[in-house]
């Protein structure tokens, strides 16, 4: 796929995927368009050689795989979740002339940029229908329904020097000045918009606020892509388009896990059993399973910190990735990243063979280092892994920034592994 088409598709995917549930649904739809057949964990599998499949867990994690009866798979891993503000169950507060929501931060949110944005709401809702069946569905309000206004500088003269943010009291989005708002009625109306009117009672929800501003090119020459959730829907999209681009006889697996931003310990997270369970169903014989794992490679793709031109001292100057200069190989002696000499060499070799650039990142030795699903998956399965990422600024802000060349370049390198 050419770069412009790739990036146009990326912008659409970012806007259509305000939550991990929506991302998973959209990935599933795109896989089906590319000939993948859905299988369900709760049912018996009879896989047929030469076909392509995908499976989801919790509707927020997904694994797609080809089934060519070979054991030397290329795996690409990414995560579907991003930091955000989630509605609390009893969230509606009516005070000081407005209706506002109690929210709980999810993941390592950079909170400052959440103020003064036009926010919408999306996620998963469960309800009881007239046959007393519990059902789940997704909603995406799309309309700009809320905002978290800043406190004016006149009321806080030290705002530019020492303002801090209290996560309990300072970040409640305000919704309306009309006091008759009822959340259950509001959700029911959203369900009606989706064609669901048989709703006796709303049960649980997992709804998140998101920035209503659309993803877009920014920069004199469209140098950048600005959007919410680039970490890590950018890598999800790269993995998705990659597996959709290979033939069914190419051994490839795409894994998209939820809950990376909170440590991956969950039913659908990378530390859970989803990938291992799925691989054991593809290779039910233990001998074949170990053979496959040890013959395969995982490219764990998650965004990397580009050097910030205004804060360049935060990087080791010899390992300071630049935007639009290629994918970043992430290296950490203390195994916060899973890249090894073996997996790094192969990545370098493939990238060089098709003239795609790459860069290397090591965090400053006097600073802490993040981690990814790479070491977690490598530890669980014993699979050789490389951690790579696309250079990004403002990571975990409500609007992140990445170079418009890099995602397509990583896509080409991944395809380079399969030839």
Residues that bind Zn ion (CB under 5 A): 231-232, 302
Nearer to Zn ion, 246 or 395 (CB): 395
Pick the closest to residue 265 from 130, 184, 371 (CA basis).
371
Helix axes 274-282, 286-295, angle to 10 degrees: 110
Nearer to Zn ion, 235 or 404 (CB): 235
3-state helix, strand, coil in the chain (%, to 5): 30, 25, 45
Comparing CB distances to Zn ion, the nearer of 60 and 232 is 232
Quick one: 190 or 387, whose CB is closer to Zn ion?
A: 387
Asked, as a colleague might, if the bond just before 232 is cis with ω within 30 of 0, I would say yes
What token pair was written down for 329?
């190989």
CB of 302 to Zn ion, least distance (A): 4
Q: Are strands 52-57 and 297-301 parallel, antiparallel or unpaired?
A: unpaired
Q: Please report how close the Cβ of residue 148 comes to Zn ion at its closest, in angstroms.
A: 23
CB of 376 to Zn ion, least distance (A): 12
- State CA 155 to chain mean position distance: 38
* Beta-bridge partners for 256: 62, 78
Q: What is the dihedral of CA 368, 229, 306, 8, to 10 degrees?
A: 160
Q: Shortest approach of Zn ion to residue 228 CB, angstroms?
A: 13
**From the CB of 127, what's the least distance to Zn ion, in Å?**
32
Characterise 299 by phi-psi region: left (phi > 0), alpha (psi -120 to 50), beta (else).
beta
Nearer to Zn ion, 232 or 385 (CB): 232
8 A C-beta contact, residue 138 and residue 124: yes
- The CA distances from residue 42 to 53, 55, 118, 130, 254, in Å, are 15, 10, 40, 25, 20
Query: Least CB distance from residue 78 to Zn ion, whole Å?
Result: 8
To Zn ion, the closest distance from the beta carbon of 412 in angstroms equals: 22
Residue (232 or 339) nearer to Zn ion, CB: 232
Residue nearer to Zn ion on the CB measure, 205 or 232: 232
Q: Count Cβ atoms within 10 A of the Cβ of residue 341 and give its class: 0-12 exposed, 13-18 middle, 19 or more buried.
A: exposed
């Amino acid at each position: 796929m050419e770069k412009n088409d790739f990036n146009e598709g990326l912008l659409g995917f970012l806007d259509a995927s305000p939550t991990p549930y929506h991302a998973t649904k959209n990935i599933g739809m795109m896989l089906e368009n590319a000939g993948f057949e859905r299988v369900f964990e709760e049912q018996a599998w009879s896989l047929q050689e030469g076909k392509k499949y995908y499976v989801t867990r919790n509707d927020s994690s997904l694994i797609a795989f080809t089934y060519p009866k070979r054991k030397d798979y290329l795996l690409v891993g990414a995560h579907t979740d991003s930091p955000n503000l989630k509605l609390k169950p009893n969230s509606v507060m009516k005070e000081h002339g407005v209706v506002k929501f109690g929210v709980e931060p999810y993941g390592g949110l950079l909170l400052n940029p959440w103020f003064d944005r036009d926010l919408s709401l999306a996620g998963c809702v469960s309800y009881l229908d007239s046959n007393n069946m519990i059902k789940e569905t997704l909603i995406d309000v799309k309309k700009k329904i809320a905002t978290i206004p800043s406190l004016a500088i006149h009321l806080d003269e030290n705002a530019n020097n020492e303002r801090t943010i209290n996560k309990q009291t300072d970040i409640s989005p305000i919704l309306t000045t009309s006091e008759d708002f009822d959340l259950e009625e509001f959700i029911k109306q959203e369900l009606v918009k989706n064609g669901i009117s048989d709703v006796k009672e709303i049960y649980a929800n997992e709804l998140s606020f998101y920035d209503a501003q659309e993803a877009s090119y920014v920069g004199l020459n469209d140098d950048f892509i600005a959007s919410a959730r680039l970490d890590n829907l950018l890598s999800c999209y790269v993995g998705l388009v990659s597996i959709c681009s290979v033939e069914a006889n190419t051994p490839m697996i795409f894994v998209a896990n939820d809950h990376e931003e909170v440590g991956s310990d969950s039913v659908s997270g990378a530390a859970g059993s989803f990938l291992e369970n799925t691989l054991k169903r593809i290779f039910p014989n233990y001998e074949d399973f170990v053979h496959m794992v040890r013959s395969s490679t995982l490219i764990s793709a998650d965004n990397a910190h580009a050097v910030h031109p205004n804060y360049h001292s935060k990087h080791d100057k010899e390992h300071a990735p630049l935007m639009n200069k290629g994918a970043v190989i992430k290296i950490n002696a203390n195994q916060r990243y899973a890249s090894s000499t073996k997996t790094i060499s192969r990545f370098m070799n493939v990238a060089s063979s098709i003239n795609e650039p790459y860069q290397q990142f090591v965090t400053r030795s006097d600073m802490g280092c993040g981690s990814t699903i790479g070491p977690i998956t490598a530890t669980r399965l014993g699979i050789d892994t490389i951690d790579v990422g696309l250079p990004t600024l403002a990571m975990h802000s409500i609007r992140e920034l990445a170079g418009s060349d890099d995602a397509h370049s990583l896509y080409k390198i991944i395809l380079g592994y399969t030839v």
